[in-house]
Amino acid sequence: MSTCYNPKTMDELGQALSQLTGRSLILAGGTDLVLRLRSKHLEPDALLSLSGVPDLQEIEITPERASIGAMSTMARVNQALDGLPDLQALADAAGGVGSPQIRNKGTIGGNAANASAAADLPPVLWLLNAQAEIMGPGGARRTIPVQELPDGHQGNTLAVGEVVVRFVIDRPPLKGWRSAFVKLGHRSQVTISRIGLAAALLQEEDGTVRDARIVAGAIKPVPFPLPAAEDILRGKRPDPALAVELGETFKGNTRRVYKENAAKGVFQDILLRFQ
């Protein structure tokens, strides 16, 4: 039988983290972990449940920054950010994860820390240059760019007894930018991404793209930027007809013929978001 830690405050969380070993598991929303627990018949020596710490669920949006507690559910992230042009991609991604039931339970921290290649939030967190704030044993804190969270092998770089407590996005650098996320799965709702595409554009008043950032997900073990696509967009209006040319930038990035062919469709869908 495993020990269960159910901290209620950040202090208690820090203490609980000190007790964890390499055989312990940290339980966020549970939408992925429960499946792994059962299919692999894992018997952790301790289970740390994050559900009881209200601070981990806090979402605070100011003109300076967006601070999103790691235990914020997809549904809450979607609700809190929907309509904010610079952060829209995060709302889109969170709003498109799984089913309503999954969105009510799955968390931004779990999605990012779990580091599945098909996860929807990491490409957006990369796009927005989010910082991950990490708590370690005894409550020690450190902050890393989200790009340093995954280990490249569908795992994370967190040490034993470490947990992501929140994500922070600096908003001033995003002033004037609009962002969006679209995905391609097997159906319109409740689907795992075969391609995830996060884009942010800084546009002139006439729509011309002054600057662009594009990050793709679900292609490689970790998200990756597409500078060639960004180059295509700069100086032009985001015309959906550019999709064919943009789709070509996927070549060489994936061995899956399907994904290579389908990329232009995803590009067009995202361009339509900027009309």
In the structure, how many helices (H) and strands (E) does the chain have?
10, 12
Q: Which of residues 128-157 bind another protein (CB under 8 A)?
A: none
CB of 81 to another protein, least distance (A): 17
Please state the separation of Cα 213 from the chain's center in Å: 16
- Chain centre distance of CA 112: 5
From 158-166, 168-176, 211-219, 259-267, give the range in contact with another protein by CB under 8 A: 259-267
Shorter beta-carbon distance to another protein: residue 136 or 265 = 265
Q: Are 63 and 39 in contact (CB under 8 A)?
A: no
Q: Measured from the CB of residue 195, what is the shortest distance to another protein in angstroms?
A: 9
Name the 3-class secondary structure at 68.
strand
Residue with tokens 């969270």: 149
Q: Which is nearer to another protein, 149 or 266 (CB)?
A: 266
Considering only residues 183 through 202, tell me which ones interact with another protein, judged by CB under 8 A.
Answer: 184, 186-192
The contact mask relative to another protein for 23-62 (x = CB under 8 A, - = no) is ----x--xx--xx-xx--x-----x-x-xx----------
User: Which of 9, 18, 21, 99 is in the footprint of another protein by CB under 8 A?
Assistant: 99
Residue 35 half-sphere exposure, CB side, CA atoms within 13 Å?
6
Which stretch of DSSP H or E encloses residue 69? Answer: strand 65-69
Interacting stretch for another protein, rule CB under 8 A, among 2-10, 138-146, 213-221, 229-237?
Answer: 2-10
In eight-state DSSP terms, residue 39 is H
